[in-house]
Structure 1
Amino acid sequence: MSNKVKCDNCGHVNPYGTQLCESCGKPLEEAAENKEVINMRYEGVARRSQTYNKTIVDKVWNFFSSVKVGIWLIVLTLLASILGTIFPQEMYIPPGEDPSIYYRDEYGIAGQVYYELGLHNMYGSWWYMALVAGLGISLLIASIDRVVPLHRALKTQRVTRHEGFLKRQRVYGKNKVSDKEEAFAKAKDILEKKKYKISEENGNLLAEKGRFSRWGPYVNHLGLIIFLIGAMLRFFPGMYVDEHVWVREGETQVIPGTGGQYYLENEEFFVELYDEDDETFGAAIERAGGPVVETFQTNAVLYEREAGGTVGAESDLTEIARQEIRVNEPMNVDNFSLYQTDYKLNEFSMMSFTMENRETGEALGQIDIDLYNPEDSYDLGDGYSVVISDYFPNFFFDDDGIPSTESRIPDNPAFIFQMHGPDVDDEGEYAFVAIQQNMDVFGENQYEMSFAGVETNNVTALTVRKDLTLPYIIVGGIIFMIGLVQGSYWSHRRIWLQYNGSEVMVAGHTNKNYQTLKRDIQSVTDETEIEMPADQTAEKEEKELDEKIESTKE
């Protein structure tokens, strides 16, 4: 819609939908018929959302500029965020756990429903991101819809305002004075001492103070938008990493989130305990009921893969750093930080079994099984061999009595062995072997597998963190707080002193705290012949209250 509204008082051309002339303040069109106190929240300017509603762009703009829509988006986002905290998110469950099993076993039916609805990985889901994006779009459009016309109106305003504008301010009054020049000069001096900025035109005065506070809410919005951008960037590859890696002694592992560029070797891991005989800590250790860890440390070597090298090939790795990683003493590399967070002592790494003749007790051979990478079969020679038919690193029987595993970590390893020898048929004999369990699967066996030994090692747990979004979040938070202070602790106050023939008109407006504005005007009226203007809103409310009291008496 391209219609313009020309003010017949000052000739200023206003955008369609303007209620008060941006220059002289004269009420326009339907606003001229209303004699109530003017709503000065947006200076009577034309907001796009209130004047355009034809195209799809207009309808989308109007939808997101609505305060109600913004509130609903905030409520929905908060509710969704609360749902995501009922149970731990997938990133916080024990490493190696199958989420579909973990949530069901830990939290029952509620956990299974939580998983099936996708709430276990909610903060990275498309619909949660859509809510955050919608909230950001709503803040942006609502701000532009209001701040642009408001800035234009405040920038365009003249000192001399239309009488209809002044009469419909909340604080308004007029009276005769014997010497208008002297009264205005005193008023100017008093208001300047109160830090008002004075503008003059044709002998009229405009005293203005704290205009910058009007932009506080929009600075709030800008800070929130930057904050939300930072939050959304966390789900873009390479911007945010918060993962865990377990590295066994002597093992080299790729650092998660680095795209295979960096590797870490755990040369040694150790734990130091407080001395129970130390008088300083003896009482505290006794209260703890057992040994207390003083520190745990990983002696780490950092490698970088050569450009063009094969991922995982140790020959392509170049050592770039060595460091002792302790709690609160991370290793830092290329925006990544590796924190010491957990450990596991004496984890099973290798188990040995001997294949024996059950009747004679003769040992037919030994197999050594790498619990993290077991081979499919082991040849013992002389026609004897063992095949691992099934392997359960963390064995348990499920509800149907079927062997299963809770994770890939060998905390409770169990095997189903298929044993072959010259005295048995091609199908061999089966045996189920777990810790303190050794049983035939099909009838009596001629052979059996006997436990021969175990090797353990220590495992360190490191948290890998990278956060390139933190500057956005910090800047957004700082800007938000600036806007909060800006809009909360200051107010935009304006006082108009204007000639009207033989009388002086006084009007005042502030976006909040009218008592402060009236005290400032009172300081002028106490020193001049200008009379204190009336608070028209307060008088109206008092009159309505009196009428209500009278009606109840009748």
Structure 2
Amino acid sequence: MEKVKCECGHVNPYGTYLCESCGKPLKEEKGKIANMRYEGVARRSQTYKKSMIDRVWNFFSSVKVGIWIIFALLITSSLGTVFPQEMYIPPGENPAIYYEQAYGTIGLLYYQLGFHNLYSSWWYMLLIASLGISLVIASLDRVVPLYRALSTQRVTRHEGFLKRQRVFGEAEGLDDPEAEMKKAEKVLREKKYKIRKENGNLLAEKGRFARWGPYVNHVGLIIFLIGGMLRFFPEMYTDEHVWVREGEQEVISGTGGNYFVRNNEFAIDLYDEENEMFEAALERAGGSVVESFRTSATLLKRSSNGTVGSETELEEVKDHEIIVNDPLTFEGFSLYQVDYKLNELSTFSFTLESETVDEDFSDFIFEVDLNDPQKLYEFENGYEIEILEYFPNFLIDDNREPTTINRIPDNPRIIFEVFPPDVDREDENAEGEISLIGIQVNESLNGDHDHTIRLAGVEMVDVTGLTIRKDRTLPVISVGAIIFMIGLIQGSYWHHRRIWIQNREGTLLLAGHANKNWHALKKDFSLISANTQIPSPVDQLDEAAKEKENEGVNQNNV
């Protein structure tokens, strides 16, 4: 695959169809019109096909392969929208149980195939990376030879090059060819063409920058894809959901445990039912309608003065009332108000009663925090109560075993074991009185009991739902999108036009080429013809079509 030297002296890469300098056809091809795609230069993917690197390069440089990768991304991306991704299911839900319960067998299959975390899966990332590689290789495979050809083109072009342009014509018998060329030059300058001259020949060029539009477009898309992939790095992107109960605080994800948010108070506002403006709408809604909801929050930061092993000391940073579209912001993080839950079970109060022992149990009351229950409760009179199992959201599974749907105490069940003073809990053979207790549930699990634990009271709390969001990829994505739009506009609203006028012993050869919008190029030739004695060239593509049509008519007549 040796390089080819043209008669003009320019050395062309192997596989070049038209000399990069003078345009002389280096290969014989059928048809009157030259193949001007990428200026007839050699592309790497069309010439080198032996090594493994060549095969990989040729595979990703194919436009068809790029389209198939885009098609595969569209199909897989749509699969991720059939059911909610895991990050969007209710907080605390076990995805292995949730998808089957919510969507049946199809939901279970959706989970088992890994579609619940589709956009962070390795094979989806591989598809995005493949698209990026395809864009880079396809662009380099075309832009490098195109740039080389356009930068080395001479004004004086081979006669065979001119005659094989789509728009070509000859002007013979002119009184003064040189004067007519000067008139044409003046017209083209007025049309903002860039003029180059050589040996009495003329090249007028306009809008070359439009040729780089698709490649600028590709650069923007590659930057956009990089920004999208950066979202899978925790330091670059965080989108988490946290529930904070009134009076409590939770760590803010993505801060390394250094920041906390405290829910001081949650409140909702309802539309005024006595307001005539809302009366009809409220009647259709069938009850009270929430107008707004908000959280009075405090941002806390881990104190730097704490010693190793000591309890966490938190410093108040700032207070903020979080409402919809008015988040609490700090160090690139934003806490948005997105959801709430009223009257969530928080604490159960229990009493212990005895059926046989004549003892006063009136002051025997203990509380169980449903979000963080103690394991053991000890009392001064010697009684001990141990929690054997706790199910915040009780459920009997397919194997008839008790389990919990999630850690939210929507349907709590507790298994207690009561040890009277005369029973040593530390004894391996000791057995207390075991009961399953919940709302309207009080069952003995090991025979008759002398003691009964009864539910004495319930405390509820309002819970606010906040989204923790940090997005450092937006500048990268924005830059990519802006570059993408610049390339799109650059390649869509401008076009590259060239006009060659050469004097061959008194005969003017005219040729023109446009990468698109041939009508505008023909109008420029018509303007030259109107201001000079030079006739407009013809569109050889139209002439060829007419010849075929005439041949078909003649054959029919025969």
Contact 1:305–1:311 at 8 Å: present in 2 too?
A: no
In the other structure, the counterpart of 1:24 is: 22
Q: Which residue does the alignment assign to 2:517?
A: 513
**CA 551–34 in structure 1, closer or farther in 2 if over 3 Å, else same:** closer
Shift of 1:510: 0.6
Correspondent of 1:11 among 9, 12, 25: 9
> Match of 2:426?
none
Structure-1 residue corresponding to 2:374 = 375
SS at match of 1:281: helix
SS of structure 2 residue aligned to 1:530:
coil
Matched, 1:342 2:346: no
Separation of aligned partners in 2, 1:315 and 1:70: 54
The reply to whether residue 289 of structure 1 matches residue 286 of structure 2 is: yes
Q: 1:311 to 1:351 in 2, by over 3 A?
A: farther
Counterpart AA for 2:17 = Q
CA 204–289 in structure 1, closer or farther in 2 if over 3 Å, else same: same
Q: TM-score if structure 1 supplies the norm length?
A: 0.94
What's the counterpart of residue 114 of structure 2? 118
Partner residue of 1:543 out of 543, 547, 550? 547
Tell me the equivalent position of 1:79.
Answer: 75
2:256 and 2:384 map into 1 onto residues whose CA distance is 41
Alpha-carbon offset, residue 359 of structure 1: 6.2
Aligned residue in 1 for 2:39: 43
Given that 1:355 and 1:363 are in contact with CA atoms closer than 8 Å, whether structure 2 keeps it comes out as no
Tell me if structure 2 keeps the 8 A contact 1:143–1:221.
yes
Tell me by how many angstroms 1:536 deviates.
1.1
Answer yes or no: is 1:301 the counterpart of 2:298: yes
Whichever residue aligns with residue 271 of structure 1, its letter is I
Q: Name the count of aligned residue pairs.
A: 550
Equivalent residue letter for 2:389: D
Post-superposition offset of 1:352: 1.0
Distance 1:551 1:438 in 2: 100
Q: Deviations over 1:445-470 (max 9, x none)?
A: 33222111111222111111111111
| 1-structure distance, mates of 2:199, 2:242 | 76
What displacement does 1:143 show?
0.6
Could you say if the C-alpha distance between residues 43 and 310 of structure 1 is closer, same or farther in structure 2, counting changes exceeding 3 Å? farther
Counterpart of 2:318 in structure 1 is 321
Question: Which residue type is aligned with residue 461 of structure 1?
Answer: G
Mark the CA change 1:491 to 1:363 in structure 2 (over 3 Å): closer, same or farther: farther
Task: Say whether the 8 Å CA contact 1:354–1:363 is kept in structure 2.
Answer: no
Select which of 420, 441, 446 maps to 1:442: 446
Matched residue, 1:387: 386
Q: Partner letter of residue 534 of structure 2?
A: I
Report the Cα offset of residue 123 of structure 1. Answer: 0.5
Q: What is the correspondence of 1:168-187 to structure 2 with a 5 Å cutoff?
A: 168-176=164-172, 177-187=174-184
2-structure distance, mates of 1:98, 1:513: 59
Q: 1:77 to 1:199 in 2, by over 3 A?
A: same
In 1, Cα distance between equivalents of 2:162 and 2:306: 78
Q: Is the 8 A contact 1:310 1:316 kept in 2?
A: no
Cα deviation 1:15-57 (Å, max 9, x = unaligned)? 22222111111111xx245453111120011212222223332
Within-5 A mapping of 1:135-174: 135-174=131-170
Inter-partner Cα distance in structure 2 for 1:133 and 1:241: 21
1:216 alignment counterpart: 213
CA distance in 2, matches of 1:131, 1:309: 47
Q: State which drifts further: 237-246 or 193-202.
A: 193-202
Query: Greater shift after overlay, 73-82 or 281-290?
Result: 281-290
| TM alignment of 1:221-370, pairs within 5 A | 221-307=218-304, 315-358=312-355, 364=361, 365-370=364-369
The CA distance in 1 between the partners of 2:307 and 2:537, in whole Å, is 84
Deviation at 1:306, TM superposition (A): 3.7
* Separation in structure 1 between the aligned mates of residue 557 and residue 442 of structure 2, nearest angstrom: 97
Is the contact between residue 303 and residue 312 of structure 2 (CA under 8 Å) also seen in structure 1? no
Q: 1:95 aligns with which of 91, 108, 119?
A: 91
Contact 1:366 1:380 in 2 (8 A): no
Q: How far is the alpha carbon of 1:417 from its aligned partner? A: 1.7
- Please point out which of 480, 497, 500 is paired with 2:501: 497
SS across alignment from 2:38? coil
Q: C-alpha distance in 2, partners of 1:259/1:543?
A: 77
Over 3 Å counting, the alpha-carbon distance change for 1:342 and 1:311 in structure 2 is farther
CA distance in 1, matches of 2:205, 2:129: 38
CA offsets, 1:198-249, max 9 Å, x none?
2111111111111111111111111110100000000012100011111112
1:358 shift after superposition = 4.0
Q: Would you say the 8 A contact 1:251–1:265 is kept in 2?
A: yes
The unaligned stretches of length 5 or more in structure 1 are none
The CA deviation at 1:305 is 2.0
My pick for the range that moved more, 302-311 or 444-453, is 302-311
Q: CA deviation at 1:553?
A: 5.8
CA contact (8 A) 1:204 1:498 kept: yes
Contact 1:255 1:262 in 2 (8 A): yes
CA 1:549/1:377 → structure 2, altered by over 3 Å: closer, same or farther? Answer: farther
> Aligned letter for 2:341?
K
SS where residue 165 of structure 2 aligns?
A: coil
Contiguous gaps of at least 5 residues in structure 2: 424-428
For 2:228 and 2:290, the matched residues in 1 are separated by 36
Letter in 1 for 2:471: D
CA–CA distance in 1 between the matches of 2:91 and 2:114? 19
Question: 375-384 or 72-81, which moves further after superposition?
Answer: 375-384
* Matching residue's letter, 1:4: K
Q: TM-score, normalised by structure 2?
A: 0.94
Q: Choose 461-470 or 301-310, whichever is displaced more.
A: 301-310
Counterpart mapping for 1:427-506 below 5 A: 427-506=431-510
Q: Provide the C-alpha distance between the structure 2 equivalents of 1:402 and 1:363, rounded to a whole number of angstroms.
A: 38
The residue that corresponds to 2:130 in the other structure is 134
